Amino acid sequence: MKIATVLGARPQFIKAAPVSRAFQTYGTDHPDRPVRELIIHTGQHYDDEMSAVFFREMSIPEPHFHLGVTSGSHGQQTGQMLQRIEDVLLHEKPDGVLVYGDTNSTLAGALAAAKLKIPLAHVEAGLRSFNRLMPEEINRVVVDHVSSLLFCPSQVAIDHLRTEGITAGVHLVGDVMADALSLFSALADSGSDIHERLGLAKGAYLLATVHRAENTDDPERLAGILSAFGQVDEPIVLPLHPRTRKVIDSLGLAVPKQVRVIKPVGYLDMIALEKSSRMILTDSGGIQKEAYWLGVPCVTLRDETEWVETIESGWNQLVGAEADKIVHAIRSFVRPESRPGLYGDGRAAERIVDLCIQSRPST
């Protein structure tokens, strides 16, 4: 059996790591039923800090195909990916295609598989922000509606799919990012020296990330976020996405003096920074979940989130991009007394691989 996995963006490398390990383990445990994972890297995130470091740190197998599609408009980028993925699928003839999340790489991989009538599996199916102005939301909806296997992290995600009339091939598997955190958290403790390199005292800084188009493409929102950072009397560490840096420079926005801007970091360094921060300020879906699992208060710089359970738990607050609301949330956040288990037991990757194998048509 051959499964083609389409990757392209930093969060997908993290999600793919435990699943690739599970594929390898399955092949070792079942030599009579060999399975091969064929990794296709679109190139959506392409420099060392955004791509290669994750493959090294997380022992993800090197991509079999690197398509070299880098930046561009949504249409241009997705179109080039679609054409090049289709060429690979026509040549390799996999039994199935596996995609992750909600990026342009996800959409292109899904469309290529659907057009060629290759069964498609979607990891993180059923997530909805209900904001169709977000390109990620469009990608999620389209991919779910052309998928044969839909791997959901929560019952809420399953309920969303049922509302849209999707019930076949839907499975509650948990969240593969919980698997990744379980696998690599201890390694981050021993293998990361990020605090020493940056001269940071653990527990004495806030960690921020800003990369969503809804924030970076709106000068008013981005200015509001930076203004809020400037009103906080604590150090803020900001690993800055290249796109965000470019927008800040082009708009001539000032980064407040208490904000420590650093280059994007690898997964181990990021987990180490998250673990030891007093609070996380982010527009990232994945980091919202990691903050929850690590027991770190989170302020989400968006108007809605797919991870509603973290809001309901009290560990995450939605504040948008208005400076006053962000500052108020940072200063008034009260840590909840309990933290219920969310998004599975850390064995999502194993379930995903088993279901992919079971779904293979008999010959």
Return the pLDDT at 169.
Answer: 98
Percentage of the chain modeled with pLDDT above 90: 86
Give the C-alpha separation, 332 to 114, whole Å: 48
Give the C-alpha separation, 71 to 223, whole Å: 24
For the segment 292-316, what is each residue's pLDDT rounded down to a tens digit? 999 999 999 999 999 999 999 999 9
Largest CA distance in the chain: 65
| Residue 147: pLDDT over 90 | yes
362 pLDDT band, cuts 50/70/90, is very low
Return the pLDDT at 235.
Answer: 97
41 labelled catalytic = no
55 pLDDT band, cuts 50/70/90, is confident
284 token code pair: 């990232």
What mean pLDDT, rounded, does the chain reach?
Answer: 94
| Alpha-helix residue ranges (DSSP H) falling in 231-284 | 242-251, 267-275
Return the pLDDT at 23.
Answer: 95
Q: Tokens 């992750």 appear where?
A: 100
Cβ neighbours of 254 (radius 10 Å): 12
Cβ neighbours of 219 (radius 10 Å): 13
Tell me if 292 sits within 8 A of 315, measured CB to CB. Answer: yes
**Candidates 145, 195, 211, 328; catalytic one:** 211
Q: Tokens 């997705």 appear where?
A: 78
Tell me if 15 sits within 8 A of 100, measured CB to CB. Answer: yes
72 pLDDT band, cuts 50/70/90, is confident
Return the pLDDT at 53.
Answer: 85
For the segment 331-350, what is each residue's pLDDT rounded down to a tens digit? 999 999 999 999 999 999 99
57 pLDDT band, cuts 50/70/90, is confident
| Residue 45: pLDDT over 70 | no
Describe the crossing of helices 10-29 and 285-294 by its angle, rounded to 10 degrees.
70
Give mean pLDDT, residues 68-74: 81
- Taking CA atoms, 234 is separated from 9, 203, 204, 205, in Å, by 31, 11, 8, 6
Give mean pLDDT, residues 190-203: 96
**Stretch (H or E) spanning 41:** strand 36-41
Percentage of the chain modeled with pLDDT above 70: 97
- 151-160, 171-180, 263-272, 354-363: least confident range: 354-363
Return the pLDDT at 31.
Answer: 85
Give mean pLDDT, residues 162-168: 98
| Residue 363: pLDDT over 60 | no
| Residue 202: pLDDT over 50 | yes
Residue 315, burial from CB neighbour count under 10 angstroms (0-12, 13-18, 19+): buried
- 26-30, 198-202, 220-224: least confident range: 26-30
Describe the crossing of helices 285-294 and 267-275 by its angle, rounded to 10 degrees.
50
Map out the domains of the chain with their CATH numbers: 2-175+345-358 (3.40.50.2000), 186-332 (3.40.50.2000)
